[in-house]
Amino acid sequence: MRALILAAGAGTRLRHLTEKRPKCLVPIGGRPLIDHQLQALKDAGVDDIVVVVGFEAEQVRRHCPQGVTFVVNEQWATTNSIYSLYQAAKWIEGRMLLFNCDILFDRRLLSRLVEGEGSTIAVDSRAPRLAGEMNVSVDDGGVVRAIGKHLDPAVTNAVSVQLAAFDATGSQLMLTELERLVDDDVRDAFPTSAYKPLIDAGGLRAVEAGDLPWAEIDSVADYDRVEEEVAPRLD
């Protein structure tokens, strides 16, 4: 199984923490954020790892262990993560994991996705749903019906952890839509935009993450909360 980590952005909202280093190297619990992710992947038996880099790319190359494949998004400063994903298009195939470098998650959550069947995305039904966040609508059967930051929180029932696993069919559907979007010059968007055909086909299921510690680290406030409340609870 392959894992694709998107780590090209500058993380400007983390201010002094990312002035001279990429977000994935910000220390959490005494270790760079990406080290938590790489260890979780290793524990889950995932050793085919592709990292898309951009800002301070060489720092990430030097830090990661031998065997990691790197892809560079040369336009990291003017594009969003959907374009970083597009840069790794040749690696989108078969069973694979996809997540951003700013997600801290418990290794037990990764195991749930790796051991699951079909295409799945981790969601937290206990987290507050706020406008502008990556909200998710899940039906009573656990099938994802919609996902996006544009969704009205009132019509959703979970928040995306932004950690996904795809089977071969899901990977192909996502890749086809990704290529179509970029061909239409859609570059300021999130990878979830490419999930639409899979969602329309009822092929994306939710995996509950609300009982496990996780966090997206977007701001200094997020960072402080994670250091105090989330990192100490990780398995």
pLDDT of residue 60: 98
Domain ranges of the chain: 2-233
The Cα-based distances of 175 to 9, 51, 108, 169, 195 in angstroms read 21, 17, 27, 10, 9
Task: Answer whether 44's CB lies under 8 Å from 116's CB.
Answer: no
Q: Alpha-carbon distance 211 to 124, whole Å?
A: 8
Mean pLDDT taken over the chain = 96
What is the share, in percent, of the chain residues with pLDDT greater than 90?
Answer: 95
For residue 53, give every residue at least 6 positions away whose Cβ sits within 8 Å of its Cβ, in sequence order, or none: 7, 8, 22, 60, 61, 70, 71, 72, 73
Measured CA to CA, the distance from residue 71 to residue 149 in angstroms comes to 27
CB 111 within 8 A of CB 129: no
User: Has residue 98 got a pLDDT over 90?
Assistant: yes
For the chain, give percent helix, strand, coil, nearest 5: 40, 25, 35
- CATH architecture of the domain formed by 2-233: Alpha-Beta Complex (3.90)
Whether residue 61 has pLDDT greater than 90: yes
**pLDDT given for residue 22 in this prediction:** 95
Confidence of residue 222 (pLDDT cuts 50, 70, 90): very high
Helix (H, G, I), strand (E, B), or coil: what is residue 203?
coil
pLDDT band (50, 70, 90) for residue 91: very high
Q: Are 144 and 188 in contact (CB under 8 A)?
A: no
Q: Which pLDDT score is estimated for 15?
A: 83
| Total-model pTM | 0.96
Residue 116 has pLDDT above 90, yes or no: no
Q: What is the pLDDT of residue 18?
A: 93
pLDDT digits (tens, 9 = 90+) for 156-214: 999 999 999 999 999 999 999 999 999 999 999 999 999 999 999 999 999 999 999 99
pLDDT of residue 69: 98
Q: How large is the angle between the packed helices 107-115 and 33-43, nearest 10 degrees?
A: 40
Distance in angstroms (rounded) separating the CA atoms of residues 114 and 44 = 7
Transcribe 72-134 into DSSP letters.
E-TTTTTS-HHHHHHHTGGG--SSEEEEETTEEE-HHHHHHHHHS-SEEEEEESSSPP-TTS-
Render pLDDT for 118-157 as a digit per residue (tens, 0 to 9).
Answer: 999 999 999 999 999 999 999 999 999 999 999 999 999 9
